[in-house]
Structure 1
Amino acid sequence: MTSNEIINNDPTTKSLTNPKFIFVTGGVVSSLGKGITAASLAAILEARGLKVTMTKMDPYINVDPGTMSPFQHGEVFVTEDGAETDLDLGYYERFLRHSKMSKTNNFTSGRIYQTVLNKERRGDYLGGTVQVIPHITDEIKHRIRASGQGYDIAIIEIGGTVGDIESLPFMEAVRQMKVELGHRNAMLMHLTLVPYISSAGETKTKPTQHSVKELRSIGLQPDILICRSEHPISEDNRRKIALFTNVEERAVVMCQDAQSIYQIPRTLYEQDLDDIICERFGLDVPEADLSDWDNVVDALLNADGEITVAIVGKYVELPDAYKSINEALLHAGIIYRKHINIDYVDAEALGDYSDEAVVERLSHVDAILVPGGFGERGTIGKMKAITYARTQQVPYLGICLGMQLAVIEYARNVLKLEANSSEFDRKTAEPIIGLITEWLDEKGELQIRSDDSDLGGTMRLGAQQAELVEDSKLRKIYGASTITERHRHRYEMNNRYIEPLESAGMKISGYSAKQHLVESVEIPEHPWFVAVQFHPEFTSAPRGGHPLFASFIKAAITQQEKQG
């Protein structure tokens, strides 16, 4: 029985075979695109009928990325089960149709050491000396095996580059697993840079040779080399790389810079990378059909016009801080065959602009998006952008903090309240946003405290159900009365302000199913003004997009047509 017969393309069916593992490492420099390359390979293998999962192992000591600055680490991706993970897991989900990431698909050195030290404190090691080998490496191997259970193929990406001292325990664990699993069940794919020296007009293979030499010095021999380059790599250089790295020539795969990351599955497929893997693992599965990826690329590269969306945030210097939002907008553009031009607006700088200067800064955009975030910095500028969108009838999408600020802006400028969030002012007289308490008032409504007891609040994380109000724009967009979206926030809208807001023209369009907390707001009299407490960007994909972003971009197209 083949693997394809086992799963029969049913994502809910568990594989009957032990998983095969593909370990992915990188060399020379970071940011070569290990995550995108690994995800592209996963997409091809899935297209062959295999059930594929992916895991990211990060060498840093932080327990998870949840408390790390977006300037250093980029976006924090949130899984359905509420894990705060590396942004590469977003790539994994966007490239795979049938696999969702979870807490088991991302772990750090910090998480590993924390687990081992907790065991030591409990006496699990019976007083023995706790060491990197075997205790740390055993915990790593345990997590790798657990992440692959129920799948045909598990692709395991190791963050950082070969030679980093932080990643050595991961490398050693991989070395041990390759021996334990055997040649037919595990292989190593190494991503490396083949630089082009413009002054010499030559492509240099030496960095790749040294990168593989470093790998071999710790007992790892790559089975596949993915060679990243700005320029084409000649067949002579390909043969040279194969010769000096002891890698089969056909397993030296060229991956030149592409116009779109969604071209990478086709690039790898055309060099038979999936055939090499299936032969090695003894998998008898049909050929991959990548026509859906071809359609995505065609829509991207042959767009009919351009839409400009302003993202008003405080991390605009690093676009990776808004990676999932950027991709979700791109996916919506694919649906309508429009190129999405993102204008990153520094919210902190915009806060110092006069009203006239704000109009001048934003007058060219077709839509405005205010993303999530934490802290007060940049909120004045974000609210100025919201005021502009509301009063000038420009399509507006607020996400998480972008919803909370939309509510505050409306309360201040329409209701004329001195409204604020207790996140920014713990003594505010009008806490329209704050932390929920564990008790209800006499009307059965959740209340907000704005004193120091706020510190006891907990974050809503992961997938949660929301019930959409009948006749709301949001319900029409989703075409459903109940939806499930992912959350990552601590502060909520105060239910005491629902009635005055709705009396003034802002509609509450969604409530959480469990606690009846406000999930979304909209302005019916506005062409398109929707703000949500959840993060729809986390579930958008290039093949299908997301209904909320699709509706947002459609409104932007209408706005552009009105203007000219």
Structure 2
Amino acid sequence: MARYIFITGGVVSSLGKGLASAALGALLQARGFSVRLRKLDPYLNVDPGTMSPFEHGEVFVTDDGAETDLDLGHYERFTGVAARMTDSISSGRVYSNVLEKERRGDYLGKTIQVVPHVTNEIKDFLHVGDDEVDFMLCEIGGTVGDIEGLPFFEAIRQFSHDRPRGECIFMHLTLLPYLAASGELKTKPTQHSVKELQSIGIAPDILVCRSEQPIPEKEREKIALFCNVRKEAVVAAYDLKSIYEAPLAYHREGLDQAVLDAFQISPAPKPDLTIWQDVQDRIYHTDGAVNIAIVGKYTQLEDAYKSIKEALIHGGMANRIKVNVEWVDAEIFDHADAADHLEGFHAILVPGGFGERGTEGKIKAAEFARTRKIPYLGICLGMQMAVIEAARNLAHIETAGSEEFDHEAGQKRFEPVVYHLKEWVQGNHAVKRKVGDDKGGTMRLGSYDATLKDGSRVAEIYGNTAIEERHRHRYEVDVKYREQLETCGLTFSGMSPDGKLPEIVEIDDHPWFIGVQFHPELKSKPFAPHPLFKDFVRAAKDVSRLV
């Protein structure tokens, strides 16, 4: 049976619970333990799939097709453990499940209440897979005291009470603000946060205190005394230059040892931190830098493209090169020449997105990269825009566009080089969709196989002709244009196994021009960079050496 670590937060949001959870998971792995990480989110959306990136950042997708919180991306990047649908749940999903059971009569006509029905549903979720790993780390979204989070806090309180003593601990993240006027770190916010947690029946075993300043011994003792934790269990979390310093930084502060002590695991296995020492070395010992433009529509919020930015950093680590990312709003090109904003970059990346806004700018970015022989990586919509650009300017299909944009406008304006996917094969069965279907969870989601063309650039990059990548999209490039586009130099170098769905396109007489329908960034890790990002950054590095 797994030991459970519940990670909660207080005082303010965005303290870094997800990063702390991921780093702790990596440290426990370094000591030889197996881990799984989970996220419990209080919002009422069934999942983040239909939420705007401006609201919630990127949507992370698992192999089995779950649309989840971006923290699951942190979990995967730090531990290498592939997240599953059972590793993410929201209040919306919990209430939806409870109401479905009530409609079916599963509760035998009883009055449905938060306690016990909602809390039992949460506890059932927590139990899934608890015989598979040594440690289950469960992060509770939001902050203690939020009204929407109360059922989750009550559920984990009950859960720890139901388990044998010593199988559950609580780790609480708080803020230690520094007041420059008095030159002091203030512990009162942490004390009040712990008091709030204690008032609902949860006593933290470990406190992780976010601070800009070193925590003096006096303040550490004060926190321990008034929050009823051991002094050794007050762990400092300082600001870092790179998130990939977190495992080593938390180890220096004694977080993993504090966890093992709380579980009374003694003697504690010695950690092997070789991987993270190498990662840190690659971050700070580089040979030059490259400048890469990300031309997108959600550039005001970097978290909207969190995995892409991290994958570029991983590609830089693999090449021992610093990657400078600049966000370029695609709508700028509605009123400006692409050269005015893209000149001087060593590579261009166009990410995914939904809707027509900004797409003409993405098409111009693809054209600029193609004609100027600058390395280009198009992801999902970024691939579709590259295909539309080639259809317009190489194949002379002047009205080439996407059916998505016609649906949005309510009128037919384009020849649909990209069309709404109505049927595809998932596993052993066919999936069918209509344009008017609900938006949530109705896309082509999760991991799918692709077959690469022998001798293609992507086959060389992957070192294989059979790959598996994660998808999240409703629209596909229409294969009926394949011959026409390939005649013009745009090769369909990756296809679904049945040959019906284009997965990858590339331009033969270009230094590096690749578009992919899937999301390779979701599988990249600092200690295992994704092959496409690794080679993309290498190509940018080659360009930088020529300038």
What's the TM-score, normalizing by structure 2? 0.95
Cα distance, 1:285 vs structure 2: 5.4
What is the CA–CA distance in structure 1 between the aligned matches of 2:99 and 2:470, rounded to whole Å? 32
Counterpart in the other structure of 2:430: none
Counterpart in the other structure of 1:106: 88
Counterpart in the other structure of 1:414: 394
From 214, 234, 257, the counterpart of 2:239: 257
Residue ranges of structure 1 left out of the alignment (5+ in a row): 1-17, 440-451
Cα distance, 1:350 vs structure 2: 2.1
> What do the CA deviations read for 1:361-415 (whole angstroms, capped 9, x no partner)?
1111110000001100000111111111010010000000000000000100111
Stretch moving more, 328-337 or 267-276: 267-276
Counterpart in the other structure of 1:199: 181
What is the CA–CA distance in structure 1 between the aligned matches of 2:316 and 2:446, rounded to whole Å? 26
What is the CA–CA distance in structure 2 between the aligned matches of 1:211 and 1:163, rounded to whole Å? 8
Cα distance, 1:515 vs structure 2: 5.5
Counterpart in the other structure of 1:7: none
Residue ranges of structure 2 left out of the alignment (5+ in a row): 425-432
Counterpart in the other structure of 1:326: 309
In structure 2, give the amino acid aligned to 1:188.
F
Identical amino acids, percent of aligned pairs: 54
Cα distance, 1:272 vs structure 2: 2.7
What is the CA–CA distance in structure 2 between the aligned matches of 1:270 and 1:350, rounded to whole Å? 48
Counterpart in the other structure of 1:139: 121
Counterpart in the other structure of 2:416: 431
> What do the CA deviations read for 1:440-473 (whole angstroms, capped 9, x no partner)?
xxxxxxxxxxxx9644695211011000001110
Q: How does 1:356-375 map to 2 (within 5 A)?
A: 358-375=338-355
Counterpart in the other structure of 1:519: 503
From 235, 247, 257, the counterpart of 2:217: 235
What is the CA–CA distance in structure 2 between the aligned matches of 1:453 and 1:339, rounded to whole Å? 45
Counterpart in the other structure of 2:159: 177
Cα distance, 1:147 vs structure 2: 4.6
Determine if contact 1:105/1:147 at 8 Å carries over to the other structure: no
What is the CA–CA distance in structure 2 between the aligned matches of 1:288 and 1:437, rounded to whole Å? 50
Cα distance, 1:280 vs structure 2: 3.4
> What do the CA deviations read for 1:311-356 (whole angstroms, capped 9, x no partner)?
0001000000000000000001111121111110001122221x3x
What is the CA–CA distance in structure 2 between the aligned matches of 1:216 and 1:71, rounded to whole Å? 34
SS in structure 2 opposite 1:425? helix
In structure 2, give the amino acid aligned to 1:125.
Y
From 541, 545, 549, the counterpart of 2:533: 549
From 436, 443, 453, the counterpart of 1:459: 443
Cα distance, 1:60 vs structure 2: 0.4
Instruction: Evaluate the alpha carbon distance shift between residue 453 and residue 164 of structure 1 in structure 2; reply closer, same or farther with a 3 A threshold.
Output: closer
Counterpart in the other structure of 2:170: 188
Stretch moving more, 470-479 or 302-311: 302-311
What is the CA–CA distance in structure 2 between the aligned matches of 1:109 and 1:195, rounded to whole Å? 31
Determine if contact 1:395/1:556 at 8 Å carries over to the other structure: yes
Determine if contact 2:402/2:414 at 8 Å carries over to the other structure: no
Counterpart in the other structure of 2:5: 22
What is the CA–CA distance in structure 1 between the aligned matches of 2:254 and 2:149, rounded to whole Å? 30
Stretches of 4+ moved more than 3 A in 1? 282-285, 436-439, 452-458
What is the CA–CA distance in structure 2 between the aligned matches of 1:83 and 1:515, rounded to whole Å? 25
Determine if contact 2:443/2:473 at 8 Å carries over to the other structure: yes
In structure 1, give the amino acid aligned to 2:383.
M
Determine if contact 1:478/1:547 at 8 Å carries over to the other structure: yes
What is the CA–CA distance in structure 2 between the aligned matches of 1:289 and 1:550, rounded to whole Å? 26
What's the TM-score, normalizing by structure 1? 0.92
In structure 1, give the amino acid aligned to 2:240.
A
Cα distance, 1:228 vs structure 2: 0.4
What is the CA–CA distance in structure 1 between the aligned matches of 2:190 and 2:263, rounded to whole Å? 26
CA RMSD of aligned residues (A): 1.6
Counterpart in the other structure of 2:377: 397
What is the CA–CA distance in structure 2 between the aligned matches of 1:77 and 1:200, rounded to whole Å? 43
From 13, 16, 33, the counterpart of 1:50: 33
In structure 2, give the amino acid aligned to 1:368.
I
SS in structure 1 opposite 2:352? coil
> What do the CA deviations read for 1:147-192 (whole angstroms, capped 9, x no partner)?
5341110000000001000000000011111111133100000000
What is the CA–CA distance in structure 2 between the aligned matches of 1:297 and 1:162, rounded to whole Å? 33
What is the CA–CA distance in structure 1 between the aligned matches of 2:38 and 2:499, rounded to whole Å? 33
Q: Count residues in correspondence.
A: 531
What is the CA–CA distance in structure 1 between the aligned matches of 2:243 and 2:139, rounded to whole Å? 18
